[in-house]
Chains A and B, each alone.
Chain A
Amino acid sequence: MNTTTVAVAPSATAAAGPARSTTPAPRRRSSTRKRLELALLLLPSTVLFVAFVFLPLIAAVYYSLFDWSGFGPLIDFVGLDNYTQALTDPTFQAAIGHNLFIVFASLIVQLPLSIALALLLHGRIRGRTGLRLLVFTPYVLSEAVTAVIWLSLLQPNGAVDGLLRGVGLGDFVQLWLGDGNVVMFTLFAVITWKYIGFGIILFLAGLQGVPEELREAASIDGASGWQTTRMIVIPLLGPTIRIWAFLSIIGSLQLFDIVWIMTLGGPAGSSTTMASYLIDRGFRRYEFGYGSAVAIILFVFCFVFALFYQRFALRRDTQGALTGRVE
């Protein structure tokens, strides 16, 4: 590595112009230089992070202390009223419940399903590449496109109902988006359809890291296929499962696009999520102070969860498997 750097550097300097050629050709990386290099490389992302994440966050905290319509000066200071109002609003409480429903349903349904499908697609089966492509396709679509497609498929007497009736399952037909008791399950099904491919790809990658020797050794010791999977493959997938769960939970807490396009949080608030509630209050009702408070609550939710998860679940992975795979 070092030799190439040295070999390339002089020619590059020469090409850059004669003014630079006065500097001594052989360079040693002093610690100052290294720091400067680091600063230079970190600068763009630091600037972006501060300008587009950190400062807006501070601004939102500030706005959230005012009763503010988004127009005119911030004069009506209300302290923490917006926060208490949000946390006591039954619609927002229900929204938190809907987010938690998606969190747990994802863990209970999507996790086993994507592991099972990954195991299936990992084995030597005919048309493996085609199948992998097929399950991954929905993930490539944007959430908005997914939502628009399913919104039209799920209309009463639409394509989904037609299909169910066509195969004799007409009794299962529901008012998928029009019935408050059904709508969350419908949305969860659409989310699963969209994100299952992502889980599968992640677990397929994880399965590459399970050494073949271990499986062979197990089978020589007389372990059945299920035993091998249960005792060897799944534990070795641990880091992948933990990172999948992390991404899934954060995604579920921030759920917005699909809900907003398909139901706008309705009927009667029965599919409102924290994010759709905050957009609804902020932009539809012009309650920007209140909307900011809800945004901060959502942020705290995600941030606290992420910290705890990093501390207790991901810590043992960050040194080994996780960083190893990223490279």
Chain B
Amino acid sequence: MKNTRTITRSVAAVTAVAALAAISGCSGDSGDTVDGVTTLTFWHNGTADPILSIWQDAVDAYEDENPNIKIDVQPIQNEDFSTKIPLALSSDDPPDIYFNQGGGLLATQVQSGQVADITDLTKDWIGDVGPAAGNWQVEGAQYGVPYAMQLVGFWYRTDLFEQAGIEGTPTTMDELTEDIEKLKDADITPIAVGGKDRWPDAFYYNTFAVRECGEDVLKESLAAVDLSDECFTKAGQDVIDFIASEPFQDGFNGTPAQEGSGSSAGLVASGDAAMELQGTWDKSVMQGLTDTDLNPLLGWFPFPSVDGDGDPSATLGGGDGFSCTQKHVTECVDFLHYLSSADIQTKLVESQVVTIPVIEEATSAITDPVIQSIYDFNSEAAYVQTYFDIALPTGVGSALNDAVADLFAGKGTASSVPDAVAAAK
């Protein structure tokens, strides 16, 4: 008898403690409006300066103007978003404002029911943000606001091009191949690629596909998650042929993209490689990896034309932006409106974190001729195709990146990317 009672009692105690833990665990989110001050949590990926201070300054200024709002800023490493966001969105306490890149990734997140539809709240001013905002729509509803546009193109070292006797920049694939040979003859690694991270590999497949496929085919195929059109297989063959011309650094499949001096960005920054196909943000990454002033040494040109159905002025790109969750959606939208103001946008452009602002007025802050040329290219581009891994549903996008990385490692055929997409659908 006695024993049973002891056991019952200890079980009761365990249950009580567990219940207590559960209660205290859940009570965290009830107290974020205290004395009329609402606290918003803000997750962004600008963990290093200059963007870190730009966001912090913006928050400080916003809090001064709005004494009833307090913003709890949490800078989070870019790569950690993929693990933190799903967990946060399936909890009761997701961040009120968080970074994302729109497209299929956002569409996947919207399934959680936690991401706020801000169509009505933004309808008065979303037009000012321009076409970039389209990437933050899911089935016609607005689910976020971008603060920057990014393009993918070749960053190159003007000094190394000169050393190899290259004049001008290549506009066709044949010219690029010639330039690669010239660089090799001069004992310079032509192109650096961060193959370890896979997504830089995918930039090649994606841009080749943009060159091989007509705009309608491209858009329809990605929307239908079906890359069975012949042009996608041609793009696969283009990638295989391009790798066969051996333009990349030694051991490119093990090279990280952006971390440290041995990364592909680091190789270009230190002058150990002449080119890199990367996003426009890469200039600030490279500058962070060297003490040399890269402004006079870096040039940019768009991906060369290929003999295909695609428009040579089209390009691959995407954007960075923020979304809101349900709880404080009105406050969040007001803050996002503030972030897309000309004032903040100008600061982002001046620091060269953002090459292509979403607000027209901020473009007057562009002083660097190279940045200006990127901006002009963007203005005249037929269209900007979102990176495939972001445009497609997340699982399929990653499968596509993996399949392209396999091609870079010498595994697979021209049709293996479309096949991987079909298998992951």
Interface set of A (CB-CB < 8 Å, partner B): 32, 35-36, 39, 43, 46-47, 50-51, 69-72, 151-152, 154-158, 175-180, 183, 263-264, 266-270, 280, 283-288
B135-174: CB near A (< 8 Å → 1, else 0) gives 0000000000000000000000000000000000000000
Q: Are B251's CB and A179's CB within 8 A?
A: yes
- Closest Cβ of chain A to B193, distance in Å, is 11
Contacts of B82 in A (CB 8 A): 283-284
* B-side contacts of A269, CB under 8 Å: 402, 406
Asked if residues B111 and A32 are in contact (CB atoms below 8 Å), the reply is: no
**CB-CB nearest in chain B for A268:** B409
**In the complex the two chains form, is B251's CB within 8 Å of A283's CB?**
no
A265 to chain B, nearest CB (A): 9
Give residues of chain B (1-21) contacting chain A, Cβ–Cβ below 8 Å.
Answer: 2-3, 6-7, 9-10, 13-14, 17-18, 21
How many A-B residue contacts, CB cutoff 8 Å? 130
Q: Which 10 residue pairs of A and B lie closest in terms of their CB atoms, listed nearest first?
A: A177-B254, A178-B251, A268-B409, A267-B253, A155-B262, A178-B254, A39-B10, A71-B112, A175-B251, A267-B409
A255, B409: Cα distance in complex, Å: 23
Q: A175-B250, A283-B86 are in contact. Are A43 and B13 (CB under 8 A)?
A: yes
CB distance from A68 to the nearest CB of B (A): 10
Residues on A with C-beta less than 8 A from B250 are: 156-157, 175, 178
- Other-chain contact of A267, B108, B195, B399, B424 (Cβ < 8 Å): B195
- Residues on A with C-beta less than 8 A from B50 are none
Please give the distance in Å from B351's CB to the nearest CB on chain A. 28
Q: Is the interface of B mostly helix, strand, loop or mixed?
A: helix
Q: Within the complex, what minimum Cβ distance (angstroms) separates A164 from chain B?
A: 14
> Is B90 within 8 A of A71, CB to CB?
yes
Expressed in whole angstroms, the minimum distance between the Cβ of B49 and any Cβ of chain A is 21
**CB-contacts of B193-229 with A (<8 A):** 195-198
Indicate if B75 sits at the interface (CB-CB under 8 A).
no
Prevailing SS type, chain A contact patch: loop
Establish whether residues A263 and B14, one from each chain, have CB atoms under 8 Å apart when the complex forms: no
Q: Which of A157, A266, A283, A284 contacts B195 (CB 8 A)?
A: A266
Are B86 and A70 in touch, CB under 8 angstroms?
yes
Contact present for A284 and B254 (CB under 8 Å): no
- Assess whether A71 is in contact with B109, with CB atoms less than 8 Å apart: yes
- Tell me how far the C-beta of A176 lies from the nearest C-beta in chain B, rounded to whole angstroms: 7
Check B405 against A72 for contact (C-beta < 8 Å). no
Chain B residues within 8 Å of chain A by Cβ, number: 48
Contacts A263-B254, A266-B198 known; list 11 others, CB within 8 Å.
A43-B17, A47-B14, A71-B86, A72-B112, A152-B261, A155-B262, A178-B195, A178-B252, A264-B198, A266-B253, A286-B394
CB-based contact B196/A266 at 8 Å: yes
Question: B108 touching A178 by the CB < 8 A rule?
Answer: no
Cα A266 to Cα B86 with chains together (Å): 24
CB-based contact B21/A156 at 8 Å = no
A39 and B3 CA atoms in complex are apart in Å by 12
Shortest distance in angstroms between B295's beta carbon and chain A's nearest beta carbon?
A: 26
CB pair B197–A178 under 8 Å, yes or no, is no
A43 touches B256 (CB 8 A): no
Whole-angstrom distance between the alpha carbons of A263 and B89 in the complex?
Answer: 29
Residues from 68 to 104 in B contacting A, C-beta threshold 8 Å: 82-83, 86, 89-90
B18 engages A47 (CB within 8 Å): yes
In the assembled complex, which residues on chain B have CB atoms less than 8 Å from the CB atom of A283? 82-83, 86
Given the contacts A47-B14, A70-B90, A266-B405, A285 and B399 also touching, CB distance less than 8 Å:
yes
- Smallest Cβ-Cβ distance to B397: which chain A residue: A285
Given contacts A267-B409, A286-B86, contact A32 B395 (CB under 8 A): no
* Residues of chain A within 8 A of B256, CB atoms compared: 151
Q: Which residues of the partner chain B approach A154 to less than 8 Å between Cβ atoms? A: 254
Contact with A along B250-280 (1 / 0, CB 8 A): 1111111000111000000000000000000
Report if B184 contacts A (CB, 8 A). Answer: no
- Cβ contacts under 8 Å, A70 to chain B: 86, 90
Across the interface, B405 reaches (CB within 8 A) one of A152, A157, A179, A267, namely: A267
Q: Say yes or no: A72 contacts B111, CB within 8 Å.
A: yes
Complex Cα gap A270–B411 (Å):
11
Shortest Cβ gap from B90 to chain A (Å): 6
Establish whether residues A268 and B86, one from each chain, have CB atoms under 8 Å apart when the complex forms.
Answer: no
Given contacts A178-B254, A268-B409, contact A36 B6 (CB under 8 A): yes
- A-B contacts, 21 of them at CB < 8 A, read A35-B6, A39-B10, A43-B10, A46-B14, A47-B17, A71-B108, A71-B111, A152-B261, A152-B262, A155-B251, A156-B250, A175-B254, A177-B253, A178-B254, A179-B251, A179-B253, A180-B253, A264-B196, A267-B254, A267-B408, A286-B86
A158 proximity list for chain B (CB < 8 A): 262
* A-contacting residues, B373-425, CB 8 Å: 394-395, 398-399, 402, 405-406, 408-411, 424
Tell me which residues across on chain A come within 8 A of B341, comparing CB atoms: none
Docked-complex contact A32 and B18, CB < 8 angstroms: no
By CB atoms of chain B within 10 A, which of A36, A72, A280 has the most? Answer: A72
B130 proximal to A (CB < 8 A): no
